[in-house]
């Protein structure tokens, strides 16, 4: 009787040991995935030296998930440039839908930030600097307003 109890004790000790090993293995796998975070140096930079996320996506350096839920259908992408004519010598502004819709769904902007019609929004640089329109994201989560030529990208001649 005592002998059997000893064996049961040994076997349960062994099973516990096995579980600890498996658990440790999973934890170490988890950590090694964390170490694979992309080093900043390999990300492409824009003309101002900030990370160019649009280029990083295009080059395939990063592959962000569309949504946390893999069953959710991907958000639509459209290739539509909107040109904002600017008075004076400053280059006109080109707003490209393509890279934006790679990151964002339509309803991130329409209709709350921008009415879905070219020329329908009374946009000005002052309002952008105050955090409206493009300034809702640029200077906050997207490249900063100090980089004039990334938006004012269409020279007059």
Residue 113 CB, nearest approach to ligand HEC (Å): 5
Residue 87 CB, nearest approach to ligand HEC (Å): 6
Segment holding 83, helix H or strand E: strand 81-84
Of 12 and 124, which has the nearer Cβ to ligand HEC?
124
Of 61 and 84, which has the nearer Cβ to ligand HEC?
84
Residue 71 CB, nearest approach to ligand HEC (Å): 20
| DSSP per-residue codes, 88-144 | SSSPBEEEEHHHHHHH--GGGTTTTTS-SSTT-S---HHHHHTT-GGGGTBTTTBS-
> Contact positions toward ligand HEC, by CB under 6 A?
53-54, 76, 78, 82, 84, 86, 90, 93, 95-97, 99-101, 103-104, 106, 108-110, 113-114, 116-121, 123-126, 128, 133-134, 136-138, 142-143, 145-148, 150-152
Residue 124 near residue 135 (C-beta atoms within 8 A): no
Residue 82 CB, nearest approach to ligand HEC (Å): 4
- Cβ within 8 Å of residue 137, ≥6 positions away: none
């Amino acid at each position: 009787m005592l002998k059997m109890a000893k064996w049961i004790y040994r076997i349960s000790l062994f099973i516990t040991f096995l579980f600890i090993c498996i658990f440790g293995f999973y934890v170490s796998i988890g950590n090694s995935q964390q170490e694979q975070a992309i080093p900043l140096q390999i990300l492409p930079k824009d003309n101002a030296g900030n990370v160019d996320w649009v280029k990083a996506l295009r080059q395939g350096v990063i592959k962000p998930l569309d949504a946390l839920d893999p069953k959710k259908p991907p958000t639509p992408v459209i290739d539509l440039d909107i040109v904002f004519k600017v008075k004076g010598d400053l280059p006109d502004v080109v707003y490209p839908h393509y890279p934006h819709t790679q990151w964002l769904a339509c309803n991130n902007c329409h209709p709350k930030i921008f009415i879905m019609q070219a020329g329908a929004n009374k946009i000005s640089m002052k309002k952008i600097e105050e955090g409206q329109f493009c300034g809702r994201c640029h200077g906050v989560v997207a490249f900063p307003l100090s980089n004039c030529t990334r938006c004012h990208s269409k020279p007059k001649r």
